[in-house]
Amino acid sequence: MDLSKETVKDSVNLLEVNNLNIRFYSNGREMKAVNGVSFDIKKGETFGFVGESGCGKSTTSRAIIRLLAENARVPDGEILYNGTDILKLSQEKLRKIRGKEIGMIFQEPMTALNPVLTIKKQMYEQFLGTGMTAKEKEEKAVEMLRLVGIPSPEKRLKEYIHQFSGGMRQRAMIAITLAANPKLLIADEPTTALDVTIQDQIIKLINKIKKQMGMSVLLITHDLGVVSQMCDRVAVMYAGYFVETADTLTLFSKPRHPYTKGLIDALPSTEKKNSSLMPIKGTTPSLSELPDGCPFGPRCPYCQEKCTLELPEMAEVEPGHMVRCHFSDKLIGASGLISIEDGEKQ
Amino acid sequence: MDVLNYTLKRILQMIPVFLIVTVLIFVLIRAIPGDPAMVLLGEKATPESLAALREKLGLNESYITQFFLYLKGIVTFDLGDSIKFKAPVSQLILSRVGTTICLTAMSTFFTVIFSFIPGYIAGIKKDKIPDQIVRFIALVGLSVPSFWIGLVLLTAFAVKIKIFPVSGWGNTPWEHFVGLILPSITQAIAVSAVLIRNLRNNVVDIKNSDYVDYARSKGISPLRISTHHIIRNALIPTTTLLSLKLIAMFGGSIVIENVFNLPGIGALLVNSIYARDYAVVQGIVIMFVIVVMVINLLTDIIYSILDPRVKLS
Amino acid sequence: MADKIKKKKKINISLLIGIIIVSAAIILAVCPSFFTTFDPEAIDSQSMLAPPSALHLFGTDNYGRDIFARVIYSARIDLFIGVGAMIVPFFIGTAVGIISGYYGGKIDALLMRILDIFMAFPYMVLAIAIVAITGAGIKALFISMWLVGWKEYTRLVRSEVLVVKNSEYVEAAKVLGYSDLRVIMRSIIPNVLSSAIVYGASDIVMCMMSGAAMSYLGLGVQAPTPEWGAIISGGKAFLSVAWWITVFPGIFLVITGLGFSLIGDGLSDMLRQKGR
């Protein structure tokens, strides 16, 4: 794993999210999709959300540009972009942020791009209201396709998304999103639908363009491997809660939450050849019937009585490393517990 | 070039189906009890005219020869003579077909108005009050027979309030136009229910689609999202369905022209059945079969033009 | 839990109203004499074209026949046409669809060509052509509707069979060496029948409408038998003086049709719910 990323420190927050809560209502039932989430993204930084599907990572990212479903409510929280609260913006002002300031790429370009409009038409939508001439638009569009590594861009511009191959589709969507020069790119599982080799190319591409354009990136993924290749800092989400945030190196080397540990242990590893993968037992709780105490309690191997009664708060265990666990200090060497099991097996 | 090749290919494929259909009609006409010449000429025919027709149809020849004579008639557009009108069937059809085409064209216009707007609104306002209302109306619309709605409209807007003619379509183009308004609205009501439901469901699917979310994430105006992403995409299947519904409208003219006494093909067909004027019936049925095939072909071409994912093959 | 209960309630509204309407129509069809003392075919020269009144609820026609009685007595024949014209194509079309989809190959190709030929006729035109041959009447009506009705079931069922055929449980049944008949009866039919039934509910409406339309044109049910389409047809000449002859049977036709449409919608909602 490549953990040599330099952490960006002490720079300005581009995005700051404070105590964000999101609820879904369907058929008179309330689902607590996101609970008290706080984080910030600095200029030029890549921040990652990692967690199982349904943990609220996509919902949180969509809330940032207010793309939530009709039955979603945000009862509480603020989302500050360069100091202005996005949740309080008028529709008109929101539109100025969408695309131009915060751009988004989706998991499946095949469904995220309009199947009956050419790439060119969808790219040109980014230039609406910029006063660019037809020639400038054409040049910029070609430049963008070239930037993401699509060969013969003049020709491909006139094609439809179904005429592209898997990897090229994702490149095309990245090109369209970045054509508006966003300062923050939200990438929702950008590599999940791709083959491993193409996945690697896309990761490198995003990393390269990020540096070139000086963007920040919010990466949503369930794949810790992708996190290690892209992120400066990571938040681990479980059942709508942040359970641990840290810089990538710390998270991988000194995880303090049992869930994070579980995720890391579930990774296939080249170092521990003989050890079997350690899946996390049980399933995620229903968002409408969260347990009273720690949401991870029912699946946690170290669960105590206190955990079933009282929801732990996010607590800073060392600078920049927050954990939501009553017993986080006891878990410092907890890799010990696992490694004892490993030892027994070997 | 692509479309042209495809059209040629499809026409080639149609030929066998058309041949079998003509065989069927040939057999069916001969399945009518009695002497085909008698059937075609009616019971009051004189022995001389019967003998003449037998000769002309080659009824004294073998069935194979008869069939080829009949096929030659179709290809050369010589469909025999009407006993009632004492005129060639082809000429009769040509003189009436204009009315039916005008009726179908105007019906299509009203259908677009009646179905596209409510269907879109219902889809956008899914499960809200406008949707409930439109869905209920569409459901009732499925159960309303066109001939009855036609008569109710006639009673209301021609008999009670005298805006429209009770019967016929006058002599001048303007009178034709006015005379076709109620019949077209009637046809449109009969067809719209299905289209409304189709469009509504398309809009519901598309407005929650990823690509509409993506378009929103780009900061595009809501109006442009509606026109370029939702409406445009939702109309593709609906337009295709509308094109297929032209067949239903053409067939529906049989009933509508009867209700409004319009001198079209449909009325001619029904009157010819009453009059046992089988040469005319046969000619019109063949014409309808050709119309269906042409509309089916056009529908496929339109679909491929509207949706770049669909390849003609 | 609360969620499930609410959803169930929602389905029942469509289905419930549909069932109530159709049941009411069936009651009219079974014992019309319970609702009116008039004979629907009795001619009364004393009260011709009488407007609706306490005695003649829906007025009378040009023969002085009570429209209310005629409308009530029509329920039997119209329901009979709707159901009778639907049921035969339902079985034939479904069977053809299953055979075509399950066996595929040459059988499928042949059956699909036959389908193409039937598709080449617009509904009314084929029906009318058949009536032209057999002569007008209820027998002709049924034959023509049976001949035109089956193809939609075939298309629907065939496409479903093609999906089910490749499912794992059908593969498994085949591997176990079960006979085709057993596979079709146990695995295919239960999975494809529901969509045919949903279509059937809306097909009844279409059959009733076209039956009425044929009778309206004088090609279906013949006078003096009371039938909604035929009554409407009889009223056409008297639109300006006796609107009631036309309007009332049409309302009954629409409401009965709506009942079946509601059942169809309710069933398809239920099916979608089940599929989730």
Alpha carbons C226 and C248: distance in angstroms, whole number: 13
Residue extents of the structural domains in chain A? 1-44+57-101+223-346
Q: What is the mean pLDDT of residues A286-305?
A: 80
Give the separation between CA A165 and CA A156, rounded to whole angstroms.
12
Q: How many C-beta atoms lie closer than 10 Å to residue B63's C-beta? A: 12
B307 touches chain A (CB under 8 A): yes
For range B277-305, the mean pLDDT = 88
Residues 6 or more apart in contact with residue B167 via CB below 8 angstroms = B260, B261
Quote the minimal CA–CA distance from A104 to chain B in Å: 6
Mean pLDDT score, C16-36: 91
In tens, the pLDDT along A164-215 reads 988 899 989 999 999 998 999 999 988 887 888 888 888 989 999 899 888 9
Q: What is the pLDDT of residue C135?
A: 78
**What pLDDT score was predicted for residue B39?**
66
**C5 part of contact set with chain A, CB < 8 Å:** no
> Residue A40 carries which DSSP code?
E
Q: Which residues on adjacent β-strands are paired with residue A172? A: none
Strand ranges across the sheet with A29-42: A29-42, A13-26, A72-81, A84-85
The half-sphere exposure of B185 on its side-chain side, counting CA atoms within 13 A, is 14
Place of tokens 């810089």: A247
Cβ–Cβ < 8 Å for A217, A233 = no
The dihedral formed by the CA atoms of C232, C234, C237 and C241, expressed in degrees to the nearest 10: -70
Residue of C nearest to B137 (CA): C258
Chains that touch C (3 or more CB pairs under 8 A): A, B
Q: What residues of chain A, 12 to 71, have a C-beta less than 8 Å from chain C?
A: 26-29
Answer whether C61's CB lies under 8 Å from C242's CB. yes
In the predicted model, is pLDDT for residue C82 greater than 70?
yes
Confidence of residue B2 (pLDDT cuts 50, 70, 90): confident
The candidate with the shortest Cα–Cα distance to A180, out of A233, A124, A222, A234, is: A124
What's the confidence (pLDDT) of residue C32?
Answer: 86
What's the confidence (pLDDT) of residue C166? 83
CB proximity C112 to B under 8 Å:
no
Nearest to A309 by CA among A322, A324, A323, A326: A326
Nearest chain C residue to A29 by CA: give it.
C3
Binary contact (C239, B21; C-beta < 8 A): no
Sort out which chain C residues have CB atoms less than 8 A from A28's CB and list them: 2-3, 6
A230-264: b or e for each residue (b if 16 or more CB lie within 10 Å)? bbbbbbbbbbbbbbbbbbbbbbbebbbbbbbbbbb
Query: Number of Cβ pairs closer than 8 Å across A and C?
Result: 10
Instruction: Return all residues near A275 (Cβ < 8 A) that are at least 6 apart.
Output: A269, A342, A345, A346
Averaged pLDDT score across all residues of chain A:
83
Do the chains contact at B159 and C113, CB–CB below 8 Å? no
Q: Do C2 and A27 touch (CB under 8 A)?
A: yes
Residue A50, H or E segment: strand A46-50
pLDDT tens per residue, range A235-293: 999 888 999 999 998 888 888 888 888 888 777 765 555 556 666 777 777 777 777 88
| pLDDT of the residue at B135 | 92
Q: Where are the domains of chain C?
A: 56-275
Q: How confident is the model at residue B137 (pLDDT cuts 50, 70, 90)?
A: very high
Q: What is the mean pLDDT of residues A291-302?
A: 81
Distance from CA of A55 to the nearest CA of C (A): 22
For C113-169, the pLDDT digits (tens) are: 888 888 887 777 877 777 777 778 888 889 888 988 899 999 999 998 988 888 888
pLDDT value of position A272: 55
Mapping DSSP to helix (H, G, I), strand (E, B) and coil, where does residue A201 land?
Answer: helix
B246 to chain A, minimum CA–CA distance in Å?
25
Inspect the interface and report whether the beta carbons of B142 and C119 lie closer than 8 Å: no
Token pair listed for C59: 């007025």
- Classify residue B164 as left (phi > 0), alpha (psi -120 to 50) or beta: beta
Q: In terms of DSSP bridges, do strands A216-221 and A184-188 run parallel, antiparallel, or are they unpaired?
A: parallel
Candidates C154, C151, C174, C152; CA nearest to C162 is C154
All residues of chain A having their beta carbon less than 8 Å from the beta carbon of residue B233 are 114-116
Average pLDDT over residues B66-88: 82
Nearest to B219 among A98, A115, A121 (CB): A98
Looking at beta carbons, which residues of chain B come within 8 Å of A94? Answer: 219
Of C116, C217, C246, which has the smallest distance from its Cβ to B255's Cβ? C217
Contact A103 B218 (CB under 8 A): yes
* Residue C11: per-residue pLDDT: 52
Q: Quick one: tokens of B5? A: 């090749």
What pLDDT score was predicted for residue B119?
95
CATH code at C56-275 = 1.10.3720.10
Using an 8 Å Cβ cutoff, are B203 and B234 in contact? Answer: yes
Output the DSSP codes for chain B: -HHHHHHHHHHHHHHHHHHHHHHHHHHHHHHSSS-HHHHHH-TT--HHHHHHHHHHHTTTS-HHHHHHHHHHHHHTT---B-TTT-SBHHHHHHHHHHHHHHHHHHHHHHHHHHHHHHHHHHHHTTTSHHHHHHHHHHHHHHT--HHHHHHHHHIIIIIISTTS-SSS--SSHHHHHHHHHHHHHHHHHHHHHHHHHHHHHHHHHHHTSHHHHHHHHTT--HHHIIIIIIIHHHHHHHHHHHHHHHHHHHHHHHHHHHHHT--SHHHHHHHHHHTT-HHHHHHHHHHHHHHHHHHHHHHHHHHHHH-TT----
pLDDT digits (tens, 9 = 90+) for C88-117: 999 999 999 999 999 988 999 899 888 888
pLDDT at A274: 55
**Locus of tokens 């300006």:** C240
Interface touch C218/B274, C-beta < 8 Å: yes
Cα A216–Cα A222–Cα A225 angle in degrees, nearest 5: 75
Contacts of A69 in chain B (CB under 8 A): 208
C189-216 vs B146-154: helix crossing angle, rounded to 10: 40
Q: What is the average per-residue pLDDT within A10-25?
A: 84
Q: Do C7 and A27 touch (CB under 8 A)?
A: yes
**Interface contact A160-B209, CB threshold 8 A:** no
Distance between alpha carbon A131 and the CA centroid of its chain, in Å? 33
- Say what percent of chain C tops pLDDT 90: 37
Specify the pTM: 0.86
Query: How far apart are the C-alpha atoms of B310 and B304, rounded to whole Å?
Result: 5
In Å, how far is C273's CA from the nearest CA of chain A? Answer: 14
Mean pLDDT value across residues C250-272: 90
Chain C closest-CA separation from residue A30 CA (Å): 11
Quick check: B80 pLDDT over 70?
yes
Chain A nearest CA to C3, separation (Å): 5
| Min Cα–Cα distance to chain B from A304, Å | 43
For residue A339, the model assigns a pLDDT of 35
Give the residue-averaged pLDDT of A116-126. Answer: 92
pLDDT score for B236:
92
- Cβ distance B285 to C129 less than 8 Å, yes or no, reads yes
Task: Read off the tokens for C31.
Answer: 């014992």
User: Is the separation of the CB atoms in B4 and B312 below 8 Å?
Assistant: no
Q: Could you tell me if C227 and C77 are in contact, meaning their C-beta atoms sit under 8 angstroms apart?
A: yes
pLDDT tops 60 at residue C70: yes
A316: β partners: A322
Per residue in A204-241, pLDDT tens? Answer: 899 998 998 889 999 999 888 889 889 999 999 988 89
Burial class (CB within 10 angstroms; exposed 0-12, middle 13-18, buried 19+) of B126: middle
Q: How far is B228 from chain C (nearest CA, A)?
A: 30
Range in A318-332, B92-106, C159-173 with the lowest mean pLDDT: A318-332
pLDDT, position A196: 84
Q: Name the pLDDT band for A341 (thresholds 50, 70, 90).
A: very low
Please tell me which of the candidates C116, C202, C258 has its beta carbon nearest to residue B17.
C116
Using the Cβ of C276 and the Cβ atoms of chain A, whether some distance falls under 8 Å is answered with no
Please report which confidence band the pLDDT of residue A4 belongs to, taking 50, 70 and 90 as the band edges: very low
pLDDT at A332 over 70: no
- Hey, are the CB atoms on B139 and C258 less than 8 Å from each other? yes
CB C272 within 8 A of CB C194: no
DSSP string of chain C? -HHHHHHHHHHHHHHHHHHHHHHHHHHHHH-GGGT--S-TT---TTSTTPPP-SSSTT-B-TT--BHHHHHHHHHHHHHHHHHHHHHHHHHHHHHHHHHHHHH-HHHHHHHHHHHHHHHTS-HHHHHHHHHHHH-SSHHHHHHHHHHHHHHHHHHHHHHHHHHHHTSHHHHHHHHTT--HHHHIIIIIHHHHHHHHHHHHHHHHHHHHHHHHHHHHTTSSSPTTS--HHHHHHHHGGGTTT-HHHHHHHHHHHHHHHHHHHHHHHHHHHHHHHHH-
- Chain segment C203-245, per-residue pLDDT in tens: 999 999 989 999 998 888 887 889 999 999 988 888 888 899 9
Residues 173-212 of C with CB under 8 A from B: 202, 205, 209, 212
Query: Beta strand pairing status for A321-323 and A184-188?
Result: unpaired
Cα–Cα distance measured from residue A313 to residue A310, given in angstroms and rounded to the nearest whole number: 9
Q: What's residue A340's pLDDT?
A: 32
CA C185 to chain CA centroid, Å, is: 26
Sort out which chain C residues have CB atoms less than 8 A from A71's CB and list them. none
Residues of A in contact with C2 (CB under 8 A): 27-29
Check if A84 contacts B (Cβ < 8 Å): no
B149: closest chain C residue by CA: C250
Q: Which residues of C touch B205 (CB under 8 A)?
A: none
Cα separation, C70 vs C41, in Å, equals 7
Name which of A208-217, A312-321, B29-38, C72-81 the model is least confident about. Answer: B29-38
CB B257 within 8 A of CB B267: yes
Asked if the Cβ–Cβ distance from A108 to B210 is below 8 Å, we say yes
pLDDT tens across B217-236, in order? 998 999 999 999 999 999 99
CA dist A250 and C16 (Å) reads 62
Check whether B201 has a pLDDT greater than 80.
yes
Amino acid at site A99: G
Topology given in CATH for the domain delimited by A1-44+57-101+223-346:
Rossmann fold (3.40.50)
